[in-house]
Amino acid sequence: MSQEQFFQRHQETLEQAVSAIKARDYWTPYPENPSPRAYGETAAADGEAAFKAALGKSFELEMPGIVGEVEGEVSPYGIDMGVRYPQVDFDQLIAAMKQETKAWRDAGPDVRAGICLEILDRLNKRSFEIAHAVMHTSGQGFMMAFQAGGPHAQDRGLEAVAYGYRAMKEVPADATWTKPQGKHDPLVLNKKFHIVPRGVSVVVGCSTFPTWNTYPGMFASLVTGNPVIVKPHPASILPAAISVKIAQDVLKEAGFAPHIVSMVADTLEAPITKELATHKDVKLIDFTGSSFFGNWLEQNATQAQVFTEKAGVNTVIIDSVADIKAVARNLAFTLSLYSGQMCTTTQAIYIPRDGIKAGDAQMSFDEVAEALSVATSKFLSDNDRACMVLGAIQAPATVARIKECESLGEVVLASQKLDNPQFPNAEVHTPLILKVDASDIEKYSEERFGPVSFLIATDSTAHSMELANQVISEKGAITLGIYSTDDAILDQAEELAMDAKVALSVNLDGGVFVNQSAAFSDFHATGGNPAANASLTDTAFVSRRFVVVQSRRHA
Amino acid sequence: MSQEQFFQRHQETLEQAVSAIKARDYWTPYPENPSPRAYGETAAADGEAAFKAALGKSFELEMPGIVGEVEGEVSPYGIDMGVRYPQVDFDQLIAAMKQETKAWRDAGPDVRAGICLEILDRLNKRSFEIAHAVMHTSGQGFMMAFQAGGPHAQDRGLEAVAYGYRAMKEVPADATWTKPQGKHDPLVLNKKFHIVPRGVSVVVGCSTFPTWNTYPGMFASLVTGNPVIVKPHPASILPAAISVKIAQDVLKEAGFAPHIVSMVADTLEAPITKELATHKDVKLIDFTGSSFFGNWLEQNATQAQVFTEKAGVNTVIIDSVADIKAVARNLAFTLSLYSGQMCTTTQAIYIPRDGIKAGDAQMSFDEVAEALSVATSKFLSDNDRACMVLGAIQAPATVARIKECESLGEVVLASQKLDNPQFPNAEVHTPLILKVDASDIEKYSEERFGPVSFLIATDSTAHSMELANQVISEKGAITLGIYSTDDAILDQAEELAMDAKVALSVNLDGGVFVNQSAAFSDFHATGGNPAANASLTDTAFVSRRFVVVQSRRHA
The Cα–Cα gap between A147 and B181 comes to 15
| B328 alpha carbon, distance to own chain's centre | 26
Residue A326 Cα, gap to closest chain B Cα (Å) = 13
Please tell me which of the candidates A175, A501, A540 has its beta carbon nearest to residue B521.
A175
Q: At what angle do helices A142-149 and A151-169 cross, to 10 degrees?
A: 10
A267 and A159 within one domain: yes
Q: Percent of chain B having pLDDT more than 70?
A: 100
How many inter-chain contacts (A to B, CB under 8 Å) are there? 192
- DSSP string covering B371-429, please? HHHHHHHHHT-SHHHHHHHH---S-HHHHHHHHHHGGGSEEEE---EE--SS-TT--EE
Helix boundaries (H) for A24-89: 36-39, 43-54
Q: Are strands A184-197 and A174-181 parallel, antiparallel or unpaired?
A: antiparallel
Q: Do A539 and B538 touch (CB under 8 A)?
A: no
Residues from chain A that touch B527, judged by Cβ atoms under 8 A, are 547
Average pLDDT, chain A: 97
Of B310, B343, B373, the one marking the end of a domain is B310
Q: Do B175 and A23 touch (CB under 8 A)?
A: yes
Could you tell me where the beta strands, DSSP code E, fall in B257-300?
261-263, 282-288
Please tell me which of the candidates A172, A298, A552 has its beta carbon nearest to residue B22.
A172
Please compute the mean of the pLDDT values over residues B422-444 and round it to a whole number.
97
Q: At what angle do helices A461-475 and A487-500 cross, to 10 degrees?
A: 20
The Cα–Cα gap between B538 and B532 comes to 13
pLDDT of res. A1: 55
Please tell me which of the candidates B505, B507, B526 has its beta carbon nearest to residue A548.
B526
B431 and B402 within one domain: yes
Residue (of B481, B474, B524) closest to B505 by Cα position? B481
Q: Predicted confidence band at A2 (pLDDT cuts at 50, 70, 90)?
A: confident
Q: Are strands B417-418 and B428-429 parallel, antiparallel or unpaired?
A: antiparallel
Indicate whether A513 belongs to any domain. Answer: no
Of B310, B342, B357, the one marking the end of a domain is B310
Q: What are phi and psi of A196, to 5 degrees?
A: -120, 120
The Cα–Cα gap between A167 and A172 comes to 11
Alpha-carbon distance values, A194 to A105, A209, B166, B497, B537 (Å): 9, 35, 21, 10, 15
Could you tell me where the beta strands, DSSP code E, fall in B18-162?
66-70, 85-88
The Cα–Cα gap between A309 and A289 comes to 6
Please tell me which of the candidates B23, B24, B535 has its beta carbon nearest to residue A547.
B535
The Cα–Cα gap between A75 and A60 comes to 20
Q: Of B28, B501, B520, B535, which to mutate for an interface test with A (greatest number of A Cβ within 10 Å)?
A: B501
Q: Do B543 and A548 touch (CB under 8 A)?
A: no
pLDDT single digits (tens) A361-396: 999 999 999 999 999 999 999 999 999 999 999 999
Please tell me which of the candidates B24, B178, B198 has its beta carbon nearest to residue A172.
B24
pLDDT of res. B109: 98
Indicate whether A529 belongs to any domain. Answer: no
Indicate whether A136 belongs to any domain. Answer: yes
pLDDT single digits (tens) B201-224: 999 999 999 999 999 999 999 999
Q: Do B26 and A179 touch (CB under 8 A)?
A: yes
Residue B98 Cα, gap to closest chain A Cα (Å) = 11
The Cα–Cα gap between B336 and B387 comes to 10
Any residues with CB less than 8 A from the CB of B47 and at least 6 apart, and which?
B126, B127, B128, B129, B130, B131, B132
A285 and A235 within one domain: yes
Indicate whether B553 belongs to any domain. Answer: no
Q: Of B178, B189, B492, which to mutate for an interface test with A (greatest number of A Cβ within 10 Å)?
A: B189
pLDDT of res. A231: 98
Any residues with CB less than 8 A from the CB of B172 and at least 6 apart, and which?
A22, A23, A24, B193
Residue A549 Cα, gap to closest chain B Cα (Å) = 5
A375 and A340 within one domain: yes
pLDDT single digits (tens) B383-426: 999 999 999 999 999 999 999 999 999 999 999 999 999 999 99
The Cα–Cα gap between A303 and A282 comes to 7
Residue A23 Cα, gap to closest chain B Cα (Å) = 7
The Cα–Cα gap between B75 and B73 comes to 6
The Cα–Cα gap between A300 and A304 comes to 9
Q: Do B176 and A25 touch (CB under 8 A)?
A: yes
Residue B1 has pLDDT above 70, yes or no: no
The Cα–Cα gap between B159 and B20 comes to 9
pLDDT single digits (tens) A94-112: 999 999 999 999 999 999 9
A384 and A289 within one domain: no
Any residues with CB less than 8 A from the CB of B184 and at least 6 apart, and which?
none
Of B275, B310, B345, the one marking the end of a domain is B310
A152 and A126 within one domain: yes
Please tell me which of the candidates A167, A498, A506 has its beta carbon nearest to residue B552.
A506
Residue of B nearest to A552 (CA): B505
Residues from chain B that touch A494, judged by Cβ atoms under 8 A, are 192, 194, 551
Residue of B nearest to A525 (CA): B549
Q: Do B178 and A26 touch (CB under 8 A)?
A: yes
The Cα–Cα gap between B353 and B366 comes to 9
Residue (of B424, B422, B197, B435) closest to B305 by Cα position? B197
pLDDT of res. B81: 96
Q: Hey, which residues does A309 pair with through a beta bridge?
A: A288, A532
pLDDT of res. A4: 87
Please compute the mean of the pLDDT values over residues A120-129 and round it to a whole number.
98
Single-letter residue type at A30: Y
Residue B94 Cα, gap to closest chain A Cα (Å) = 16
The Cα–Cα gap between B515 and B478 comes to 9
Residue B514 has pLDDT above 90, yes or no: yes
Residues from chain B that touch A187, judged by Cβ atoms under 8 A, are 510-512
The Cα–Cα gap between B460 and B357 comes to 12
Q: Specify whether the CB–CB gap between A127 and A50 falls below 8 A.
A: no
Residue A7 Cα, gap to closest chain B Cα (Å) = 23
Residues from chain B that touch A528, judged by Cβ atoms under 8 A, are 196, 198, 547, 549
Stretch (H or E) spanning B175: strand B174-181
Residue A170 Cα, gap to closest chain B Cα (Å) = 6
The Cα–Cα gap between B190 and B320 comes to 64
pLDDT of res. B490: 98
Q: Predicted confidence band at A3 (pLDDT cuts at 50, 70, 90)?
A: confident
Please compute the mean of the pLDDT values over residues B127-151 and round it to a whole number.
98
pLDDT single digits (tens) B36-73: 999 999 999 999 999 999 999 999 999 999 999 999 99
Residue of B nearest to A172 (CA): B22
Q: Percent of chain A having pLDDT more than 70?
A: 100
Any residues with CB less than 8 A from the CB of A185 and at least 6 apart, and which?
none
Q: Do B554 and A527 touch (CB under 8 A)?
A: no
Q: Do B175 and A538 touch (CB under 8 A)?
A: no
Residue of A nearest to B19 (CA): A170
> Domain with B480 in it: what CATH number?
3.40.309.10
More confident residue, B183 or A3: B183
Q: Do B23 and A172 touch (CB under 8 A)?
A: yes
Residue B262 Cα, gap to closest chain A Cα (Å) = 22
Residue of A nearest to B491 (CA): A551
Indicate whether A1 belongs to any domain. Answer: no
Q: Do B502 and A299 touch (CB under 8 A)?
A: no
Q: What are phi and psi of B53, to 5 degrees?
A: -65, -25
B337 and B299 within one domain: no
Q: Do A23 and B539 touch (CB under 8 A)?
A: no
From first CA to last CA, the distance across chain A in angstroms is 37
The Cα–Cα gap between B393 and B395 comes to 6
B369 and B398 within one domain: yes
B243 and B103 within one domain: yes
Residues from chain A that touch B194, judged by Cβ atoms under 8 A, are 494, 497-498
Residues from chain A that touch B24, judged by Cβ atoms under 8 A, are 172, 175, 177, 191, 193
Indicate whether A156 belongs to any domain. Answer: yes
Q: Of A498, A514, A533, which to mutate for an interface test with B (greatest number of B Cβ within 10 Å)?
A: A498
**How many domains does chain A divide into?**
2
DSSP 8-state code for residue A340: G
Neighbours of A535 (CB within 10 A): 25
DSSP 8-state code for residue A308: E
Indicate whether B6 belongs to any domain. Answer: no
Residue A141 Cα, gap to closest chain B Cα (Å) = 21
Q: Predicted confidence band at B338 (pLDDT cuts at 50, 70, 90)?
A: very high
Residue (of A44, A45, A125, A143) closest to A134 by Cα position? A143
Any residues with CB less than 8 A from the CB of B478 and at least 6 apart, and which?
B309, B312, B314, B343, B344, B502, B503, B524, B525, B531, B532
Residue A20 Cα, gap to closest chain B Cα (Å) = 11
B333 and B250 within one domain: no
Indicate whether A458 belongs to any domain. Answer: yes
A243 and A189 within one domain: yes
Owning domain of residue A120: 29-311+545-554
Q: Do B504 and A535 touch (CB under 8 A)?
A: no
> Domain with A115 in it: what CATH number?
3.40.605.10
Residue A482 Cα, gap to closest chain B Cα (Å) = 10
pLDDT single digits (tens) A291-339: 999 999 999 999 999 999 998 999 999 999 999 999 999 999 999 999 9
Q: Specify whether the CB–CB gap between A504 and A484 falls below 8 A.
A: no
Helix (H, G, I), strand (E, B) or coil at A83: coil
Q: Of B163, B306, B552, which to mutate for an interface test with A (greatest number of A Cβ within 10 Å)?
A: B552
Residue A207 has pLDDT above 70, yes or no: yes
Q: Do B26 and A105 touch (CB under 8 A)?
A: no
ipTM: 0.97
Helix boundaries (H) for A302-439: 324-336, 365-379, 383-390, 396-405
A332 and A287 within one domain: no
Q: Specify whether the CB–CB gap between A470 and A449 falls below 8 A.
A: no
